[in-house]
Chains A and B, each alone.
Chain A
Amino acid sequence: MDDSKFWPKGTTRCKPVHFGLWMLFCLALAGWALVSAFLCLYKGLNQTNMNDYFAFGVWIVVDLAIIALGAGAFFTGFMNYVLRREELKNIINAAVIIGFICYSGAIMMLGIDIGQPIRGWFGFWHANVHSMLTEVMFCITTYLIVLIVEFVPLILENRQINKVPDLHFFAHNLHTIMIVFAATGTFLSFFHQGSLGGMYGVLYARPFAARGGVLIWPWTFFLFILSAIAAGPSFTTSIVMITEIVTGKKLTTHKVKMLMAKVSGSLLLFYLVLKIADTLYWAFVQTPAMGLSPSVYYQAPYGTWLLIAELGIGGVLPCILLLSPQVRESYWILLLAMLLNCFGVTMNRFVMTIQSLAVPVLPFEKFYAYLPTWQEWGISAGVIAYGFIIFSLAYRYLPVFPQETKLNPTTD
Chain B
Amino acid sequence: MSSSASEMRFGMVIDVDKCTGCGACSVACMSENNVGVLPDETDKIRSITWLRVYQIDNGQPYPNTQIAFFPRPCQHCAGSQGHHTPCVSVCPATATDRDPKTGIVSQIPTRCIGCRYCVAACPYHARYFNWYDVPWPEGMDKPLSPFVAPRMRGVVEKCTFCFHRYQRAQNKAFTSGEAMGEMDYQTACTEACPSGAITFGDLNNPEHKVHELKKSPYAFRLLERLHTDTAVYYVSAREWVRRQADNYLSGEKLAKVQAGGGH
Contact = CB atoms under 8 A, between A and B. Distances in A.
Whether the complex brings A and B within 8 Å at their CB atoms is answered yes
Interface of A: 44-46, 50-56, 113-116, 119-120, 122-123, 125-128, 130-134, 136-137, 199, 202-207, 288-293, 296, 356-357, 361-365, 368
B119 A116 contact: no
Interface stretch (B27-35, B171-179, B205-213, B222-230): B222-230
B89 interface: yes
B117 A122 contact: no
B43 interface: yes
Contact of A119 (B83, B113, B129): B113
B91 A52 contact: no
A137 B92 contact: yes
B246 interface: yes
A202 B89 CA distance: 9
B130 interface: yes
Contact of B115 (A44, A133, A202, A206): A133
Contacts of A357: 120
19 contacts: A44-B133, A46-B131, A51-B46, A52-B45, A53-B125, A122-B93, A127-B92, A128-B93, A133-B91, A133-B92, A134-B92, A203-B120, A205-B123, A293-B249, A357-B120, A361-B123, A364-B56, A364-B70, A364-B244
B125 A122 contact: no
Contacts of A113: 115
B112 A205 contact: no
B94 interface: yes
Interface residues of B, number: 59
Contacts of A296: 247
Most B CB within 10 A of own CB, among A127, A205, A296, A357: A205
B123 A206 contact: yes
Contact of B127 (A44, A52, A203, A356): A52
B121 A203 contact: yes
B145 to A, nearest CB: 23
Given A45-B131, A115-B129, A133-B117, A291 B245 contact: no
Chain A contact residues: helix, strand, loop or mixed: loop
A45 to B, nearest CB: 6
A288 B249 contact: yes
Nearest to B57: A364
Nearest to B128: A52
A91 B84 CA distance: 44
Given A45-B114, A53-B45, 7 more contacts: A44-B132, A115-B115, A119-B114, A203-B90, A205-B123, A292-B247, A362-B222
A288 B77 CA distance: 23
A188 B204 CA distance: 44
Most B CB within 10 A of own CB, among A55, A132, A365: A55
B246 A291 contact: yes
